[in-house]
Structure 1
Amino acid sequence: MGVSRFEGLIAWQKARGLAAAIYRLTSQDAFSRDFGLKDQIQRAAVSVMSNIAEGFERGGSAEFHQFLVIAKASCAELRAQLYVALDVGYIDQRQFDESMQQAEEVARLVGGLRASVKRQGTA
């Protein structure tokens, strides 16, 4: 892979940016007062970057692959929660579109990394 630290992975870097963006988004107005949805979407965002990091540090391709599966699923959870935020009026269409685009980019990167790790086989 050529990367010695998880911080060097583009997928992790983009997931970090996504988490920060979600925290900024959820600190606004009514969204900040909906503790259930706010906490859930923040946890999903943090889960994406955390699972990439944890899987990388496990040292084996099979384990890394499994953590990437979880990271991609957390990204899907986050995207589903963005629909809720849009539907109840916590975010507008522009915020939704920007956040969804960012989440979809992270999902593609995680998916590509997962495929690459799978091709390498178990370590």
Structure 2
Amino acid sequence: MNRSRPTYSDLKGAAGGAFREAVSKGGLTSLQAFAYTYEHLEIFIDGDDPWLQLLALTSTFMVAVEADVNIWEDELFAEDVLGVLRYVYAEWIFESVDKRFDSLLDVGLREDVEVVRSKYV
């Protein structure tokens, strides 16, 4: 992430890298690795920029989709992170997402939002 404002591609790469590192080097379970990934991107998730919140959450939850993580193994954690996801996603509709992505680096965002929305929201 060499720009001052990360793109979806940047955050998706960071999420995937954090997850893989947590599993391969840290020996964590997939749920623990998902939690590690969430914490890794939490600076954006908890930040005050709604666009970066959307990008970071979508990146993080796409890791869970791709790794088939059962986040319900820890019900309190699941309720917490799904609450954040639902809150942020409620603020966005696809037209807003379409208007915001002005870079080729955001390719795939709309599709990934739909995947995450259909699975978790």
Q: TM-score, normalization: structure 1?
A: 0.37
Q: TM-score, normalization: structure 2?
A: 0.38
More helix by share: 1
